[in-house]
């Protein structure tokens, strides 16, 4: 139920007609690069105990709609991201093998924030994510729940129509019948462009 509320609220705000709210809405597009770690646990086979990877690099791109209420704001986002790198298989016999790994997600953050010190904004909120592709070169039979939840916190500075941001994000995909997949410490550097005179 919480997941549905996040998705519905984000989509409604993203699709609201900005022409009727010229003084309160900011529309923008954003793109960023990221680095994260990944962790597979509860794999449930007789060979591999866990899979872990560091320095997984990626990118994200999408759009946002920011509702400005004085110094306070609400910012739903719709993002597509893709990460790739190398992971290690930690096997039950004590051996370790490496494999190439990549995955793509659709992310829907719903952020709440505060404008301080003029150009500086801080923000945080829940993130729904859905994995649309996953490939592990060594063993692609490992199943994970494509739908997951997490959080994002960050700060950004805005110069006229240019917004520069830094965010920290953690996501978990888990179900009762499949492997738990986590990307617990993703660091994201982003650049956004805000449109028109509504970018206040």
Task: Examine the pLDDT at 10 and tell me if it is beyond 70.
Answer: no
pLDDT given for residue 3 in this prediction? 52
Whether 95 maps to a domain, the answer reads yes
Give tens-digit pLDDT for 45-94.
778 889 999 999 999 999 999 999 989 999 999 999 999 999 999 988 88
Whether 199 maps to a domain, the answer reads no
Number of structural domains found in the chain = 1
**In this predicted model, which residue has the larger pLDDT, 13 or 89?**
89
Task: Examine the pLDDT at 174 and tell me if it is beyond 70.
Answer: yes
CATH, residue 172: 2.40.160.20
Kindly report the length of the chain. Answer: 200
Give tens-digit pLDDT for 16-41.
544 444 358 899 999 999 999 999 99
The C-alpha atoms of residue 20 and residue 194 are separated, in whole angstroms, by 17
Whether 163 maps to a domain, the answer reads yes
Whether 175 maps to a domain, the answer reads yes
**32 in Cβ contact with 78 (< 8 Å):** no
Give tens-digit pLDDT for 135-173.
999 888 888 899 999 999 999 999 989 999 999 999 999
> How many CB atoms sit inside 10 A of residue 23's CB?
8
Whether 92 maps to a domain, the answer reads yes
Whether 200 maps to a domain, the answer reads no
Whether 89 maps to a domain, the answer reads yes
The C-alpha atoms of residue 42 and residue 99 are separated, in whole angstroms, by 19
How would you classify the pairing of strands 162-173 and 147-159? antiparallel
Range of the domain at 70: 2-194
> How many CB atoms sit inside 10 A of residue 61's CB?
13
Whether 63 maps to a domain, the answer reads yes
Span between the terminal Cα atoms of the chain, in Å? 34
Task: Examine the pLDDT at 178 and tell me if it is beyond 90.
Answer: no
**Rounded to the nearest 5 degrees, what angle is found at the Cα of 88, between the Cα atoms of 82 and 91?**
135
**111 in Cβ contact with 121 (< 8 Å):** no
**What string of DSSP letters covers 158-174?**
EETTEEEEEEEEEEEE-
Q: Around 113, how many Cα atoms within 13 Å sit in the side-chain half-sphere?
A: 26
Which pTM does this prediction carry?
Answer: 0.84
Task: Examine the pLDDT at 199 and tell me if it is beyond 60.
Answer: no
């Amino acid at each position: 139920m919480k997941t549905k509320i996040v998705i519905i609220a984000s989509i409604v705000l993203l699709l609201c007609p900005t022409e009727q709210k010229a003084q309160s809405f900011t529309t923008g597009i954003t793109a960023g690069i990221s680095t994260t770690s990944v962790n597979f646990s509860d794999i449930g086979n007789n060979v591999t105990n866990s899979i872990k990877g560091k320095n997984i690099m990626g990118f994200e791109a999408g759009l946002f709609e920011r509702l400005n209420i004085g110094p306070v704001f609400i910012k739903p986002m719709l993002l597509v991201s893709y990460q790739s790198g190398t992971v290690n298989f930690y096997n039950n016999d004590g051996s370790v093998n490496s494999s190439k790994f990549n995955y793509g997600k659709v992310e829907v953050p719903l952020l709440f924030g505060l404008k301080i010190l003029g150009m500086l904004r801080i923000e945080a909120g829940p993130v729904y994510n859905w994995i649309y592709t996953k490939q592990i070169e060594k063993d692609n039979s490992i199943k994970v729940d494509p739908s997951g939840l997490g959080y994002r916190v960050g700060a950004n500075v805005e110069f006229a129509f240019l917004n520069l941001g830094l965010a920290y994000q953690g996501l978990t995909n888990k179900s009762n019948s499949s492997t738990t997949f986590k990307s617990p410490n993703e660091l994201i550097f982003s650049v956004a462009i805000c449109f028109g005179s509504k970018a206040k």
